[in-house]
Every structure is written in C-alpha cells, then in structure tokens.
Amino acid sequence: MGNFIDKGSDGFSSVLNSNFVDKSLLIEEVNAVMLTENRYLCVTRARRFGKSVAVKMLNAYYDRSCDSRPLFEGLKISSKPDFEKHLNHFPVLYLDMTDFVTKYGDDVNLVKRIKQDVCEELLSVYEGVSMGANDDLMDLLVSIVDHTGEKFVCLIDEWDALCREGYEELVDEYVVFLRRLFKGSKTEYVFACAYMTGILPIKRYNTQSALNNFDEYTMLSPAQLAPYFGFTEGEVRDLCEKAGMDADLMKRWYDGYELGSEKAMYNPFAVMRALKRKSFSSYWASTNAFESLRMYITMNFDGLKDDIVSALNDIPVKVNSLRFSNDMHKVDCKDDVLTLLCHLGYLSFNDETKCACIPNYEIRQEFEAAIADTGWTEVTDALEQSDYLLSCVLKGEAEIVASSVDKIHEQNTSILQYNDENSLACVLSLAFYTSRSRYQMIRELPAGRGFADLVLVPHRNQDAPAIVLELKWDADARSAISQIKRQNYGTALKSYFGEVILVGINYDRNTKKHSCIIEKTTKDSADLKA
C-alpha cells in the first residue's frame, strides 16, 4: 500500500465502521463526468463537512489495487446501473496536502518536496518507467500512461492547505504546479478524472480562476452536489431516533445551512459529536481561521459592525461575493470578510437572495464571544440587559420594560438607523436576544390574518409562557394589544398550549419614548380569537 498510489480501501473501511451516513450517490455524479470534458471537479465546504470522507470513499471505489465491492454492497450506489462500470478500475493518485504541510513545515522548498515525494513513489511502483533529467511529475505521469495505457483518477484532499496556512510566498509556485497537472496539453491524456476538495474555492487572479476548467461546487453555490456534504433534516432525525436524542434540540444547535436546494443542512461533525457524547455543546466552531477574522470585527472594518449586529438579530445581510479572490490573506472590504465567513461555515448563504445569516446556536455563541472582545460597549450592554428585560416581561412590569427598551434603542441608534416600525423590531430582537436560550425567536411570523411582529415560542424542555409582541409607531400600546387579539395571532403558536403573554409596545417619534402594556392569557382563550 502506497502513500500516494494504490492506497487501497482501508480509509473508507474505517469510516464504515463508524456511525456512517450513506452519501455514496456522490459516486454516480463523478461517474457521470468520467472521461468527459467536465472531468474536473472542485468541491469546497467548511471544515469537517465530510470532504475527506468523500475522498476516501471515491478512492475505495476507483482504486484498482483492491476489491472494495463488499464495502459498497447495501449502499445506495450499489443499486445504480453504472455501479460496476468503474468499480476498482483505475490507478488513483491520492494527494492530501495537509500531510505535506505537516511533514515539511516551513520548508521553502515545500512544493518541490511534494513533486519529489510523489515521483519517487511512482518510480518505485512502475519499475519499467524512468525520468529524464529535466522531467517533472507531469512528464512522469505521461510516461506511465504511455507504458500502461491506463489513465489516472486524481484525488486531492485539502487542495488549499498551503493557501490557508500562511505559505503566501509559495502560493504562486503551488498554483503553477496545479496548472501544470490540470491545464496542460496532456491533461486529458493522463487523467480520467480529477477531483479536489478544500475550504476555499480555487484562487482567482483578477476575475479569472487559476484552474478555470474545473467545475466548482462551493458553500455559496453547491448545485447538485449539495446533499452529499453535511447532513439533511431526514438523516439527522433518523440518527436522533436511533440514539434517543431530541431532534428539535439538534436542529437548534447545528442546523441552518442553506446549500442550494437543500434548505436545512446540518454540520455533520457537530451532530456526530453530540450523538457520541449524548450532549449538546460547541464541538466545531472555534477555529484559527475565525480567530484571525476577529480583528476585522474588532476594528469594525468597512462597517462590518452593522452587519454583525443585524445578523445577530436574525436580519439577513447582503453579501457581494463576486469580487472575493478566494484568498484568506487578501481582504479588501467587508464583503470579502462576509464571503470568507460563508466559506468557513460561520454564515449561511442564500444563493437566491444573496444574503447571509447566522445558521445556528453553536455559531451564534462564537459571534457573541467575538463581540464581547470588541469593545462594542453599546451592544454588549444591550445583551447584558436582555435577561433583565425578559424577567420584567414575565413579571408583567410594563413600565420597566418600556424604559429598558428606551435605553436599548438610544444606545444602538448609532449602529442602525431606526426610523420606522420595522427598525423598531430590530431593537426588540436585540433587547430580547438572550431569550434564545429558553425560546425560539421568530420575527414577523405569519399568524391568523396578519403577522405577529415578534413571537417567542418556548423550547420543548422549557417551562415558560409563550410571548407575542406587537409593535406600533406613533400610535399607542393598547392598540397593539387589540391588534394581537383582533388578528388571532394565537394561531402562530401551532401546537403550543398554555399561558401566553401579550406585549404591546408603541414608539412615539416626537418624545422618542416607548410605552408598554402587558396582558396574560392562554392560547385557547377567547381573548386570542377573532
């Protein structure tokens, strides 16, 4: 078994012995482009989203040095008509770039070391092939194909390891190395298929990809490969049922990624950790990459502060990803930071709206910690007041709620421009921010014959009343309560039964003061019906 060639199926066998979720239909997608002009694929996802598992699976399937049929029996791919066509049919060149980075550290000759190591192993495997003095890896691969008549499948895991780990002086040399393999006149002669994974999309020079013959499937544009990286809603619910864990809590903690047509994708690493430990916690979020971006948050780079506050309040943030060069160390504007956060998995991107949001509770905690370190005292003060404000609502202390909202509104006017009722809803989202530990917060939730401005639905494990807030602008708080009752907002609570607190808040633009009325009822009460 080699390091780069004829690696066999042991890697995938180990995966199958774990809590495996069947993503084998990815093989069908790769088979479809085998030996075509579209044979070059680059799949990029956030850290630990199943990229390396997929590479191990593809290696086991294509590798001619092993019989992996027993491993795939019973998996979805085994029932497909073309399953047999390419099974264990190719020599597979498998390069894990993180291994090279780990092995050679800060060696300025890293790229040369990669080529040297791979050439040495190929020469040891193909004894009838030799290299000339001026030959490189591509020349050697051509000679091997001449000798054997067999094209290679090339798998590159973590293609961007050098780009992410600070080898800026080597990036251009590395890209030239990749272009030599995949953009030369002999590329199609040598490779039946090339498949790369990483976190960052392929580096751009100006607007041009360095490897523009590759089809890219990213966190921002996953296309038909969306279901194969991350867990779907159905997959997670099946796992939770088998493990006896709360699927709704799993969703709250680790769901929230919109990947193309898949609107509810979960972080697979975090899910697996939660299942193994029978506990919900932050298993994935803290990374060196995110720590490096804290600087931009701290300095409010290019107005980034406003967008982070909006995201924390569940307000989608517009992101222009087109100018990003796919370089972690070249950030020219806040859109670059936001785009990078999407690729890293700290924001979820909606390809239709071109907006990003914080996907789940695990990630939200990271942003809260980042903000706590920024010196944004007005935001952190609002968050600290949030628990107190909720307790006042629960106690029915309307005057204190009104004065507290006054304070939060005043503190944050410098961050966001509040000049209408919708903006006031943003203030309220921030004011009740910490309630998320006990409640699901929903803004403008469809209900009855209108929209409830803010609904707090208690999590299933919380013994707490539901809260419906209606906001008015230059009216009065009593009319807000009346609107809740008139429009039958109680239907927004779906299967919830129990105490409901109605909160009516009005903002007077002239006095710049809020007034509040709080009433307690139940969902089944006539007071909540038309």
Residue 63 sits in the same domain as residue 96: yes
Write the pLDDT tens digit of every residue in 223-258. Answer: 999 999 999 999 999 999 999 999 999 999 999 999
Token look-up 């803290």 returns 286
Q: Judge if 249 and 382 occupy the same domain.
A: no
Residue pair 228/57 in contact (Cβ under 8 Å)? The answer is no
**pLDDT score, position 530:** 40
Residue 451: how many CA atoms within 13 Å on its side-chain side? 10
DSSP 259-290: ETTEEEEB-HHHHHHHHHHTS---SS---HHH
User: E-strand spans in 295-342?
Assistant: 317-318
Q: Are residues 437 and 513 in the same domain?
A: yes
pLDDT in tens, 452-462: 678 888 887 78
Residue 1 in any domain: the answer is no
User: Are the C-beta atoms of residues 455 and 490 closer than 8 Å to each other?
Assistant: no
Q: Do 310 and 363 fall within a single domain?
A: yes
Indicate whether 493 belongs to any domain: yes
Where is pLDDT greater, at 185 or 429? 185
Residues 6+ apart with CB under 8 A from 238: none
Q: Is residue 367 part of a domain?
A: yes
Q: Position of tokens 């799993």?
A: 250
- 494 in a structural domain: yes
Q: Which position has the higher pLDDT, 228 or 372?
A: 228
Same domain (yes/no): 385, 239:
no
Position 227 in a domain? no
Do 140 and 94 sit in the same domain of this protein?
A: yes
Q: Are residues 201 and 328 in the same domain?
A: no
Q: Are residues 385 and 367 in the same domain?
A: no
What is the tally of structural domains in the chain? Answer: 4
- Domain end: 193, 217, 241, which one? 217
pLDDT in tens, 121-168: 999 999 989 999 899 999 999 999 999 999 999 999 999 998 887 777
* 456 and 341 both lie in a single domain: no
| Structural domain harbouring 193 | 10-217
Q: Return the C-alpha torsion angle 396, 399, 401, 404, nearest 10.
A: -160
Taking alpha carbons only, the member of 194, 214, 203 closest to residue 167 is 203
> Sorting pLDDT into bands at 50, 70 and 90, what band is 450?
low
The predicted model gives 434-442 an average pLDDT of 81
SS3 call for 156: strand
> Does residue 476 sit within a domain?
yes
Q: Is 287 exposed, middle or buried (0-12, 13-18, 19+ CB in 10 A)?
A: middle
CATH number of the structural domain spanning residue 91:
3.40.50
CA atoms within 13 A on the CB side of 105: 1
Query: pLDDT tens digits for 517-526?
Result: 999 988 765 4
Residues 451 and 522 grouped into a single domain: yes
- pLDDT (0 to 100) of residue 415: 47
Is residue 42 in a domain? yes
Strands 191-198 and 152-157, bridge-based pairing: parallel
> Over the stretch 48-88, which tens digit does the pLDDT of each residue have?
999 999 999 999 999 999 999 999 999 999 999 999 999 99
- On whether residue 112 sits in a domain, the answer given is yes
Any idea how long the chain is? 530
Domain match, 261 and 293 both? no
Q: Which residue type does 454 have?
A: L
User: Tell me, what's the pLDDT at 304?
Assistant: 84
Whether 36 and 185 share a structural domain: yes
